[in-house]
Amino acid sequence: MEWLAEYAMFLAKAATFVVALLLVVATVSALKERKGRAVGTLSVTRLNDQLDRMTDKLSETILGKAALKVRHKERKAQLKARGKSTDTPKRVYVLNFHGDIKASALENLRHEVTAILEVATAKDEIVVKLESGGGMVHAYGLAASQLTRIREAGVPLTICVDKVAASGGYMMACIADKVLAAPFAMLGSIGVVAQIPNFNKVLKKHDVDYEMLTAGEYKRTLTLFGENTEKGREKFQEDLENIHRLFKSFVAQYRPKLDVAAVATGEVWFGAEALDNALADEISTSDQYISRMIHEADVFEVHYVTRKKLQEKLSGSVSTALDNLVLTWLSRFHNQRFW
């Protein structure tokens, strides 16, 4: 018994030490995060150099060192000729936007656009590789506003859609001077959707009362637990129609040749179909277009990197997926509208 008591005391001391150590680590991490919360790093990669390195590696294997030397001489001659030119070379800035339901990539996009607009001119070009199936109205509205900054600055904007640009994703894409779509990319879905379950009948069955107090006739139109009224449904539908009207007006503003009435049905179109319906301007993958630009200009991929919080590092993608799932349902329960 004495041995067990000593062992229990040892475990208690060890547990106390571990907890204290974890608290210290957590405190230090929190202080570091607080100190550098707004600090991010702008990563810039010259894609011309990246392609040259890959081509050299392949050429060395296929052609041999002699042929590779000839290739290097030709490249040096081209660079020398460009250096003698008095004209400033065209610069192409490549951004990536992978949108989730919250448009989380917006935070990086706003910094990337701000940085580029400080140096870009009307001679340059910004290419956004866009992938999004849409999401929250307010989030994608702000994301689209970041791209309108580019248009207003007079810098040519090209959007490349390799997989999908639907709903809020297409709201962003339509702003471009030129929309490129891969052969099987999905574009469109110009519509609005909101859905909410109602458990009022279940509560009544179990004699559970539910009360909700509001100030303002339409503060809450449809509810999760209360008894919904026809008047509330009509108001909710009216709100959806109003958002849809704004969506269609926005698309028409930036794509005047598009027959908005014909495509604003909530449907999506693939590649060539999107081109036929004027949702896209050209069939091309982002790889094809950027490779072409590399031979015509200096191409830079720009990415704003933020320091992850401690809990984000620990939780990783699983936590993000759960957060998105919970937020999706909570948003719908609170009458959140979705592009």
Q: Which amino acid is at 145?
A: S
Q: How far is CA 332 from CA 44, 222, 290, 307, in A?
A: 38, 10, 39, 31
Read off φ and ψ for residue 104, nearest 5 degrees.
-60, -30
| Cα–Cα distance, 78 to 270 (Å, whole number) | 40
CA dihedral 107, 113, 115, 116 (to 10 degrees): 150
The active-site residue, picked from 65, 80, 84, 219, is 219
Cβ–Cβ < 8 Å for 187, 280: yes
104 tagged catalytic: no
219 tagged catalytic: yes
Q: Which amino acid is at 332?
A: R
The active-site residue, picked from 167, 189, 284, 286, is 167
Active site residues: 167, 219
